[in-house]
Amino acid sequence: MKDKELKGMSLIVLSVFIAFLLIPLAILLSKSFETDAGFALTNYSIILDTRFTKALTNSLTISAITAISTTTLAFLLSYSVNYTNIPMQF
Protein backbone atom coordinates (compact mmCIF):
# COMPACT_ATOMS: atom_id res chain seq x y z
CA MET A 1 0.00 0.00 0.00
CA LYS A 2 2.84 2.40 0.83
CA ASP A 3 4.52 1.78 -2.53
CA LYS A 4 1.38 2.76 -4.42
CA GLU A 5 1.01 5.93 -2.36
CA LEU A 6 4.67 6.80 -2.87
CA LYS A 7 4.44 6.22 -6.61
CA GLY A 8 1.26 8.29 -6.77
CA MET A 9 2.84 11.19 -4.90
CA SER A 10 5.95 10.97 -7.08
CA LEU A 11 3.78 11.11 -10.18
CA ILE A 12 1.95 14.17 -8.86
CA VAL A 13 5.22 15.95 -8.02
CA LEU A 14 6.67 15.08 -11.42
CA SER A 15 3.53 16.35 -13.17
CA VAL A 16 3.66 19.66 -11.29
CA PHE A 17 7.38 19.96 -12.08
CA ILE A 18 6.73 19.41 -15.78
CA ALA A 19 3.71 21.70 -15.88
CA PHE A 20 5.24 24.67 -14.08
CA LEU A 21 8.90 24.47 -15.04
CA LEU A 22 9.70 22.43 -18.12
CA ILE A 23 6.80 23.45 -20.36
CA PRO A 24 7.28 27.23 -19.85
CA LEU A 25 11.02 26.78 -20.29
CA ALA A 26 10.49 24.95 -23.59
CA ILE A 27 8.10 27.66 -24.78
CA LEU A 28 10.59 30.38 -23.83
CA LEU A 29 13.41 28.60 -25.64
CA SER A 30 11.36 28.11 -28.80
CA LYS A 31 10.25 31.78 -28.78
CA SER A 32 13.86 32.94 -28.47
CA PHE A 33 14.59 31.64 -31.97
CA GLU A 34 11.68 33.51 -33.57
CA THR A 35 12.21 36.82 -35.34
CA ASP A 36 10.15 38.97 -37.69
CA ALA A 37 11.66 37.05 -40.59
CA GLY A 38 10.84 33.68 -39.07
CA PHE A 39 13.18 31.19 -37.46
CA ALA A 40 16.73 32.57 -37.05
CA LEU A 41 19.72 32.69 -34.73
CA THR A 42 20.15 36.46 -34.84
CA ASN A 43 18.95 36.83 -31.25
CA TYR A 44 22.02 34.89 -30.14
CA SER A 45 24.56 36.97 -32.06
CA ILE A 46 25.32 38.94 -28.88
CA ILE A 47 27.05 35.87 -27.44
CA LEU A 48 29.83 36.30 -29.99
CA ASP A 49 30.44 39.89 -28.86
CA THR A 50 33.74 40.27 -27.00
CA ARG A 51 32.21 42.44 -24.26
CA PHE A 52 29.67 39.72 -23.47
CA THR A 53 32.30 36.99 -23.36
CA LYS A 54 34.49 39.16 -21.10
CA ALA A 55 31.57 39.75 -18.73
CA LEU A 56 30.68 36.06 -18.76
CA THR A 57 34.29 35.10 -18.02
CA ASN A 58 34.43 37.57 -15.12
CA SER A 59 31.16 36.24 -13.68
CA LEU A 60 32.27 32.62 -13.91
CA THR A 61 35.64 33.47 -12.31
CA ILE A 62 34.00 35.24 -9.37
CA SER A 63 31.53 32.36 -8.98
CA ALA A 64 34.30 29.77 -8.96
CA ILE A 65 36.38 31.70 -6.42
CA THR A 66 33.33 32.15 -4.19
CA ALA A 67 32.36 28.47 -4.42
CA ILE A 68 35.87 27.25 -3.63
CA SER A 69 36.37 29.61 -0.68
CA THR A 70 32.93 28.89 0.77
CA THR A 71 33.42 25.13 0.47
CA THR A 72 36.84 25.37 2.12
CA LEU A 73 35.53 27.45 5.01
CA ALA A 74 32.53 25.16 5.47
CA PHE A 75 34.80 22.10 5.54
CA LEU A 76 37.08 23.67 8.14
CA LEU A 77 34.14 24.66 10.32
CA SER A 78 32.45 21.27 10.08
CA TYR A 79 35.74 19.48 10.77
CA SER A 80 36.44 21.62 13.82
CA VAL A 81 32.94 21.11 15.20
CA ASN A 82 32.98 17.37 14.61
CA TYR A 83 36.53 16.39 15.63
CA THR A 84 37.57 18.92 18.27
CA ASN A 85 36.29 19.94 21.64
CA ILE A 86 35.69 23.63 20.98
CA PRO A 87 33.57 25.23 23.72
CA MET A 88 30.39 26.82 22.43
CA GLN A 89 30.72 30.44 23.59
CA PHE A 90 29.36 33.21 21.45
CA 7, CA 77: separation in Å to the nearest integer?
39
Please say whether the beta carbons of 33 and 41 come within 8 A: yes
pLDDT confidence bin for 55, thresholds 50/70/90: very high
Q: Quick check: 41 pLDDT over 80?
A: yes
Q: pTM for the complete prediction?
A: 0.53
34: which strand partners? 39
